[in-house]
Amino acid sequence: MIEAKNLQKRFGPIVALDDVNIKVPKGLTLLLGPNGGGKSTFMKLALGLYRPTKGEIKLLGRNPWKDANVRKNVGASFDPPALPKFVSGREWLSFLAEGKGVDAEEEIAKVSEMFNLEAFLNRRIDRYSSGMLKRLSIAQAFIGDPKVIFLDEPLANIDFDSVAQIVSVIAQEKEKGTSFVVISHIWEPLLPLADYAVVLSAGRVYLAGRAGDVKEGLENLFRSDKLSHQHTRVTNEEKQDKEPSASNESLFNKVPRRKGEKSRV
Ligand SMILES: Nc1ncnc2c1ncn2[C@@H]1O[C@H](COP(=O)(O)OP(=O)(O)O)[C@@H](O)[C@H]1O
Ligand SMILES: [Mg+2]
């Protein structure tokens, strides 16, 4: 569904992603890792909103940077929410529905019911509470029955009941055949739905595999503080040390990893 080959993304001196090689299958994929690991950058590359610095990424077999049509099959919710201020939620969703060539009224009614938007849908977005912004921003991803839905932190900063509600909507849509890539610090409620998991740390793939195979590893990983909070900077291109540490051998023997590394620039 998503295929990255030698993918690199730099922002000036910062290497947000480096040498990422993964195949994300259909189903629900959890995209995890510490802050600054490169998760949101990966999502934006997959959506064709960023252009790779090196290497390539394909979404549904196509180059998302060159082929904007692929985005018609895709929905996305960003963190922080990326929403206009001076229109109502209804106008915003209507705009997205038109862009996808689907019936706006029908689609808005559908997502409004999924995420309880009705009470504030006609209000200007700059008057929304943070909870309302979050709901609208998640709802936008479901407009037009996309084949693939990307959700960046859908469970952050919402109350407990909303977590359950959003997880249950994801479960229902997944049941209908929609694929998901979910970035979430709060990943435990999503683990029962997950088919695949990718951990990005310091711009590298730290771990990738079927969710069932990596479940225990994820639990260990996030209980300890093994992941690097450093990101890579441009260096003299020398190969980095990719040796897995002995304690994590079973988990990391299939993928490159890097330890926390101080900037050398
Ligand atoms: N648009 C940008 N401009 C400059 N640096 C960026 C930009 N987006 C991300 N970065 C940097 O790239 C690295 C990865 O960021 P990001 O993909 O947002 O990580 P995550 O989503 O895992 O927290 C960070 O060091 C971040 O500061
Ligand atoms: Mg992010």
**40 or 213, which is more confident?**
40
Confidence band, pLDDT 50/70/90 cuts, at residue 234: very low
Find the mean pLDDT for residues 211-236: 64
Q: Listing from the earlier edge strand, what are the strands of the sheet with 28-32?
A: 74-77, 148-152, 179-183, 28-32, 196-201, 204-210
pLDDT bucket at 219, cuts 50 / 70 / 90:
confident
Domain ranges of the chain: 2-36+43-215+233-252
Which ligand lies nearest to the CA atom of residue 49 in the structure?
Answer: 1
Ligand 2 mean position, distance from CA 255 (Å): 22
Q: 14-28, 153-167, 240-254 — which is least confidently predicted?
A: 240-254
Average pLDDT score over residue span 147-153: 97
Q: Is the CB of 16 under 6 A from ligand 1?
A: yes
Over residues 3-20, the mean pLDDT reads 96
Which atom of ligand 1 is the closest one to the Cα of 152? 21
The number of the ligand 1 atom at minimal distance from the alpha carbon of 37 is: 22
pLDDT at residue 227, as a whole number: 58
Rounded to an integer, the average pLDDT of 100-128 is 96
Q: Is 34 in the pocket of ligand 1 (CB under 6 A)?
A: no
Residue 12 CA: which ligand 1 atom is closest? 4
**pTM for the predicted model, two decimal places:** 0.85
% of the chain at pLDDT higher than 70:
84
Predicted pLDDT of residue 72 = 87
Mean confidence (pLDDT) of the chain:
85
Distance CA 198, CA 7 (A): 15
- Tokens representing residue 241 in the block: 């040390």
**Is the Cβ atom of 36 under 6 angstroms away from ligand 1?**
yes
Alpha-carbon span 39 to 41, nearest angstrom: 5
> Does the C-beta of 231 come closer than 6 Å to ligand 1?
yes
Q: What is the pLDDT of residue 55?
A: 97
| pLDDT cut 90: percent of the chain above it | 72
CATH architecture of 2-36+43-215+233-252: 3-Layer(aba) Sandwich (3.40)
pLDDT above 70 (res 249): no
Amino acid at 214: V
**Beta-strand relationship, 196-201 and 14-24:** unpaired
Q: Over the stretch 49-68, which tens digit does the pLDDT of each residue have?
A: 999 999 999 999 999 999 98
Q: For atom 5 of ligand 1, which residue has the closest CA? A: 11
196-201 vs 28-32, strand pairing mode:
parallel
Separation CA 240–CA 201 (nearest Å): 14
Residue nearest ligand 1's atom 4 by CA: 11
At residue 213 the predicted structure's pLDDT band, cuts being 50, 70 and 90, is confident
